Amino acid sequence: MDTTQSERVVVTRRDHLELQPWRVPAPAEDQVRVRVDYSAVSFGDVMLRRHVFRPVPPVAVPGYEVVGTVEAVGPGVRDVHAGDTVAAFIEYGGNARHALVRSRDAVVLPPGVGGAPAAAAILNYATAFGMIAAAALDAGDQLLVHGAAGGVGTAVLDTARALGLRPFGTVRGGARRELGAPIFDTGSPHLVDEVRTASGGGVAAVFDPSAGRGLWRSRAMVRRGGSLIVFGLSSVAKPGLDGTIGTAGTLATLGLFKILPGKRTKIFAMDKMYHRHPERVRDLLERTIEGLAAGAIAPVVASILPLAKIAEAHSLVERGGVVGKIVIDCR
């Protein structure tokens, strides 16, 4: 049996990460074994570590993103070959030195696309393209993304510009000139009025990762006929009773929004799409890689940390204030 000795990050108990050895089996049918060069850290990985929202498998390995070299292919694999450099969105397992990937999820990287930028783009830009499509925006439309300095936020701003849209953003604590878009302070008591004035009556779409009580404020920023797209749900990602109450309140609010007239409300979740419509996730990833190859998009890499510093990477994501994406060097 073709196996490889390797290491991976495991959530051994709530709020605890550990780098453990593991023996990687030979790829099964329609799988490839990838020697991972780069992965990344997202808030969904923090949720996995905290045991909130995401299912926690018996061996819970965080990491949605994989960029690396195919070492072996399983039976039935035709379109990916040993030696190919690939990018893939996976539900679990990216924060490791090796990963088993469904061959249909692996997209071969064209020459000139760097591993770290690709890892920074996989989840965030696929999410950005997907949310913009869900909002049915046309060139010239205005949109606003909360948490504009984060991984998804910078991706939405960049993708919007590439598609001819007019983006706004919010950050905690004031303007960030390096974001290249009009930015509002999310703590301003007059935020809704500021956004509506700047946009001439409201934006065509708001992308909100925080949920909670802020959903009403976000909806008020949307013009009539526009869309509120909710993703991430970071503000209610808490263990125990607080998380349960926060989730219930958010779901009740979203249910009410569904029946209120004049504006659309949608929830966007890549992990659910991955289960229900994996072909759509691949399409979004292919579009992302094409944008990278063409130079149409440029992910912001906040920092690159080694796999052994995964706990530090999680802390940076949790604290916020980081501009861009935390990338993990798994080599």
Could you tell me the pTM of the whole model? Answer: 0.92
**Two tokens, residue 206:** 């708001």
Q: What is the share, in percent, of the chain residues with pLDDT greater than 90?
A: 82
Convert the pLDDT of each residue in 152-210 to its tens digit.
999 999 999 999 999 999 998 876 778 989 999 999 999 999 999 999 999 999 999 97
What is the Cα–Cα distance from 59 to 79, expressed in whole angstroms?
29
Output the CA–CA distances (angstroms, integers) from residue 323 to 46, 91, 99, 153, 316, in the order listed.
17, 24, 28, 9, 10
Of residues 69 and 250, the one with the higher pLDDT is 69
pLDDT on residue 245: 47
Output the CA–CA distances (angstroms, integers) from residue 297 to 40, 124, 179, 263, in the order listed.
18, 12, 13, 30
pLDDT band at 255 (very low <50, low <70, confident <90, very high): confident
Half-sphere exposure of 242 toward its Cβ, with a 13 Å CA cutoff? 7
Convert the pLDDT of each residue in 261-310 to its tens digit.
899 999 999 999 999 999 999 999 999 999 999 999 999 999 999 999 99
Structural domains of the chain, ranges and CATH numbers in brackets: 4-108+300-329 (3.90.180.10), 124-269 (3.40.50.720)
pLDDT on residue 177: 77
**Two tokens, residue 4:** 């490889």
Mean pLDDT (the chain) is: 92
pLDDT on residue 106: 97
pLDDT on residue 238: 54
Would you call 41 exposed, middle or buried from its count of C-beta atoms within 10 A (0-12, 13-18, 19+)? buried
Total number of residues shown for the chain:
331
pLDDT on residue 241: 44
Q: What is the share, in percent, of the chain residues with pLDDT greater than 70?
A: 93
φ, ψ of residue 40 to 5 degrees: the values are: -160, 175
Output the CA–CA distances (angstroms, integers) from residue 112 to 65, 82, 115, 204, in the order listed.
19, 19, 9, 35
pLDDT on residue 248: 64
pLDDT on residue 52: 84
What is the Cα–Cα distance from 162 to 173, expressed in whole angstroms?
27
DSSP per-residue string spanning 189-213: TTHHHHHHHHHTS-EEEEEES--TT
